[in-house]
Homo-oligomer: A and B are copies of this chain.
């Protein structure tokens, strides 16, 4: 099995090291990841400036290739210029922090997997709940488990799996739930400060507000110590609303 691994925390993060280690047990792994942290970059791609690719060594061995761009850039570069053929699967992560509900939109981790899905390559995004993660191991195992399932049973072209895992030892995780993306929004607060030269600047802070009342969504699953698997795609059409608005002109 040929596997391309990327992330958004950067090629030197501990999450991607745990993921690569697990997959190297059974697959041919190529790591292509951002040179610098790229959290919350969404699905950005680099078009107006050129990219560079650097061989990245760990303990004198080639660990992978670092790209001075975004997670989506890494997938394009990894497939087109480094592997030069489609891998069997792309795995992105392990992210330090969950990517559930509305955060899926902002996530660089998910965007790497989505870029693969756009290229018709099966993909998994993997995240663990805490920003200072203690337990990567089970998340890496689960990602490997689902990678094997996907390569065997297939995933609809254009769809990827978004896997979120609580930061707990394996034995404390209650199981895996198949969920949908939850609804939430950020109650944003810009904290106003003044720089040493008297000019104002603003830091984004805020609280995540849950807006979901069902019991099958990603964030609820992980808050109850389940791992969650959500299939997501990139056809953003709201088909229900499409039927409804087609009647607008007659009403206006």
Contacts and interface: CB of A to CB of B under 8 A. Distances in A.
Interface of A: 37, 39-48, 50-53, 72-73, 76-77, 80-81, 102, 104-106, 111, 114, 118-120, 149, 152-153, 155-156, 158-159, 161, 178, 180-181, 183, 185-186, 188-190, 192-193, 199-204, 229-242, 244-246, 248, 251-252
A236 B233 contact: yes
A240 B178 CA distance: 12
Contact of A46 (B51, B204, B244): B204
A238 to B, nearest CB: 4
Contacts of A231: 237-238, 241-242, 245
A216 to B, nearest CB: 9
A87 to B, nearest CB: 15
A44 B51 contact: no
A191 B37 CA distance: 25
Given A51-B190, A236-B233, A43 B106 contact: yes
A186 B77 CA distance: 13
Nearest to A201: B50
